[in-house]
Amino acid sequence: MGRRRLTVLAGPTAVGKGALAAEIRAHYSEIWISVSVTTRPPRPGEIHGIHYRFVDDDTFDQLIADGEMLEWAVVHQRARYGTRREPVEEALRQEKLALLEIDLQGARQVRQTMPDAFFVFLKPPSWDELTRRLAGRGTETEGEQARRLETAVQELAAESEFDAVVVNSEVPAAAQELVALMRNTSQATPFA
């Protein structure tokens, strides 16, 4: 039932998923992007309802208890992040091309419940570039950066689990490539 209209994009921390999402939001209005729920506090400039829905632990617990989460995970051993099921199902009912940008644990959960979704791995051009981007962001402490790099090592090893790989060298080109993949895949016959 149009499951190939759902694309799950995962990739290591600081690979540029946020920048890619901003690019797609700005230039590809036909793509519906899920807004995740998180217990982490907003970074400067982040807007509730656009970048994330920022909630407290009790609210997150309630969403899980009510069965509202399609997937959720503790990321970087810190905060919880998750995708609410209903908005995704609504976007698919409306035959939109839907995109989830989530971590590897979440992608694996979606593979269990929606195996016909299209799974794309976003990869940095190199390990050096990844560490440079993480340091350059300047929003995490050194301890936090080290924790995120630890997660990134595991995440990079998971590339082969995915249906397609996009290298994020330049954000506009990567966005264009991802959208082209989404358009092609949604038109292909899923069970051929």
Give residues in contact with ligand 5GP (CB under 6 A): 13, 17, 36, 40, 71, 73, 75, 81-83, 101-103, 105-106
Q: Whole-number minimum distance, CB 102 to ligand 5GP, in Å?
A: 4
C-beta nearest to ligand 5GP: residue: 106
Phi, psi of 185 (to 5 degrees): -70, -35
Q: What is the number of residues in the chain?
A: 192
Nearer to ligand 5GP (CB atom), residue 75 or residue 92: 75
Q: Which is nearer to ligand 5GP, 23 or 71 (CB)?
A: 71
- Lay out the sheet containing 69-75: strands in order across: 53-54, 37-38, 79-84, 69-75
Q: Give Cα 170 to chain centroid, integer Å.
A: 18
CB of 147 to ligand 5GP, least distance (A): 11
Distance of closest approach, residue 69 Cβ to ligand 5GP, in angstroms: 9
Residue 178 structure tokens: 């991802």
In terms of CB distance, is 90 or 184 closer to ligand 5GP? Answer: 90
Select 10 or 97, whichever has its Cβ closest to ligand 5GP: 10
Residues 6+ apart with CB under 8 A from 191: none
Tokens of 108: 């694996």
**What CA–CA distance (Å, rounded) separates 169 from 182?**
19
| Least CB distance to ligand 5GP at residue 192 (A) | 30
Tokens standing for residue 49: 């309802």
Shortest distance in whole angstroms from residue 188 CB to ligand 5GP: 26
Nearer to ligand 5GP, 23 or 101 (CB): 101
With left for phi above 0 and alpha for psi between -120 and 50, is residue 16 left, alpha or beta? left
